[in-house]
Amino acid sequence: MNHHARASVSHGRTGATRSRPADPADATLDRLLERAGIRLNGPRPWDLQIHHRQTARRILAQGSLGLGESYMDGWWDAEQLDTLIFRLLSARLDQAVRTPALAWAGLRARLFNLQNEARAWMVGQQHYDLGNDFFAAMLDPSMAYSCGYWADADTLADAQFAKLDLVCRKLGLQPGMRLLDIGCGWGSLMRHAAEHYGVECLGLTVSREQAAYGAERCAQLPVRFELADYRSFNPDGRQRFDRIASIGMFEHVGSKNYPAFFAVAERSLREDGLMLLHTIGKTHHRDTTDPWIDRYIFRNGQLPLLGQISDAADPHFVIEDVHNFGADYDRTLRAWHRNFQQHWPRFAERHGDRFRRMWRYYLLACAGAFRARTLQLWQLVLAPGGLAGGYRRPMV
């Protein structure tokens, strides 16, 4: 415990009675946290341990942004950070602290196209280009950076294999087909489809690091990477693919661009083709992009509502199937966090301790959010005009 904490922790003792903090901000935050079964400086692993006397004021004034930034600055800790966030969100305390930053985030999203072509490359540069070695240490050997499927899996590698194979089976891939992967990452799906289903693949990405690393990994396969924003792809519709997949990319598209996204997919897909969309989503209109996530992790991201996807897809596709396995993201994120912790000494000098705390907060806060079911993970199967006779989801 550092010297900032010594004046602040006396109110965290156990027992039948507990005195209120002397500072009014501490007392206010303490009362809020009690609604979620959390104490300031309490004895349980999810209790918030204060190290700086201004922590409560910062959190109350800035909400989610203040909570995350003060953690990055070492002002507080929680042994089970994921459980802390799970409890906060389950008690809807995020709705109890409404800040100017949150209001501004919602206003910006309504007024501006934050995901236009000029801004589309920012997330690649800020996040995905952190270093292929960094992500290789955190992810499984397939380099899949999206939710695994844990129904019958015991390890991260098994869960990611199951997810990739589930996508291929939902799309009904057959040897000789051509697959377009919009937002292909390091090529985990394309590599799996080429190796196990004999499919020829083209992937689009806005990350130079991903394209270079993926091309090297897939050098002996019928897999090609293209560094391109989806909007500029196949403008005349001359390229047609048997299948299209988009895994964990739609979160970067933004609601103002959903019609353009589905128009690109329609002009690139054969009339008898199928598309699979795999995306994180939100369940309430009032929920806006988290200001901390927007500033430090995924610039200009926006989570869709299921209704928004349906409305935007409607002129182009029939939605044949919707599958929600968002609870599996909790386990996926905790597996990534274990890998991150294990390999952190390799990256400590490059990134520093503030980055370590930022990345820990990102992974475990998101795990808590999926556990609280305030975030969802959907896989949708879509078909132009609908499939004659209907679609049958394979065994999952």
* pLDDT tens digit sequence for 39-54: 999 999 999 999 999 9
**Average pLDDT, whole number, for the chain?**
89
Q: What is the DSSP letter of 255?
A: G
| CB contact at 8 A, 11 and 20 | yes
For residue 115, the number of C-alpha atoms closer than 13 Å in the C-beta half-sphere is: 26
More confident residue, 93 or 353: 353
| Residue 7 pLDDT | 39
Q: What is the DSSP letter of 346?
A: G
Residue 46 vs residues 36, 234, 263: alpha-carbon distances, Å = 11, 50, 46
For residue 7, the number of C-alpha atoms closer than 13 Å in the C-beta half-sphere is: 9
In the predicted model, what is the mean pLDDT of residues 187-195?
98
pLDDT digits (tens, 9 = 90+) for 156-171: 999 999 999 999 999 9
| Residue 11 pLDDT | 41
* From 114-123, 287-296, 368-377, the region with the lowest mean pLDDT: 114-123
Task: Show me where the domains of the chain are located.
Answer: 10-98, 115-383
Give dist(CA 92, CA 87) in Å, integer: 9
Residue 334 vs residues 83, 247, 338, 371: alpha-carbon distances, Å = 11, 20, 6, 11
In the predicted model, what is the mean pLDDT of residues 89-103?
73
> Which of 253, 279, 333, 343 lies closest to 82 in space, CA to CA?
333
pLDDT digits (tens, 9 = 90+) for 228-260: 999 999 999 999 999 999 999 999 999 999 999
| Residue 130 pLDDT | 77
| CB contact at 8 A, 181 and 247 | yes
pLDDT digits (tens, 9 = 90+) for 108-125: 555 455 555 655 545 555
Res 183 pLDDT > 90:
yes
More confident residue, 222 or 13: 222
pLDDT digits (tens, 9 = 90+) for 127-144: 667 789 999 999 999 999
| Residue 287 pLDDT | 56
| Residue 95 pLDDT | 78
Q: Which of 168, 201, 218, 366 is catalytic?
A: 366
Q: What is the DSSP letter of 386?
A: -
In the predicted model, what is the mean pLDDT of residues 329-338?
98
Give dist(CA 188, CA 160) in Å, integer: 9
Radius of gyration of the chain from Cα atoms?
Answer: 22
Res 2 pLDDT > 80:
no
Strands of the chain (E only): list them: 49-50, 76-77, 178-182, 200-205, 223-227, 241-247, 269-282, 318-324, 375-383
pLDDT digits (tens, 9 = 90+) for 7-21: 344 343 333 445 556
* From 97-111, 236-250, 292-306, 354-368, the region with the lowest mean pLDDT: 97-111
| Tokens at 61, concatenated | 């004034």
Q: What is the pTM of this model?
A: 0.88
Architecture of domain 115-383: 3-Layer(aba) Sandwich (3.40)
| CB contact at 8 A, 284 and 352 | no
Give dist(CA 178, CA 174) in Å, integer: 9
| CB contact at 8 A, 244 and 276 | yes
In the predicted model, what is the mean pLDDT of residues 90-97?
83
**Bridge partners of 246?**
277
| Residue 307 pLDDT | 95
Give dist(CA 51, CA 45) in Å, integer: 16
| Residue 21 pLDDT | 61
| Residue 14 pLDDT | 39
Pairing relationship of beta strands 49-50 and 76-77 according to DSSP bridges: antiparallel
Looking at the chain, the whole-number percentage of residues with pLDDT higher than 90 is 77
**Inter-helix orientation angle 55-72/24-34, to 10°:** 70
Give dist(CA 215, CA 194) in Å, integer: 13
184 belongs to the catalytic site: no
Give dist(CA 230, CA 233) in Å, integer: 5
| Residue 211 pLDDT | 93
Task: Assign 395 a pLDDT band (cuts: 50, 70, 90).
Answer: confident
In the predicted model, what is the mean pLDDT of residues 273-293?
87
| CB contact at 8 A, 48 and 84 | yes
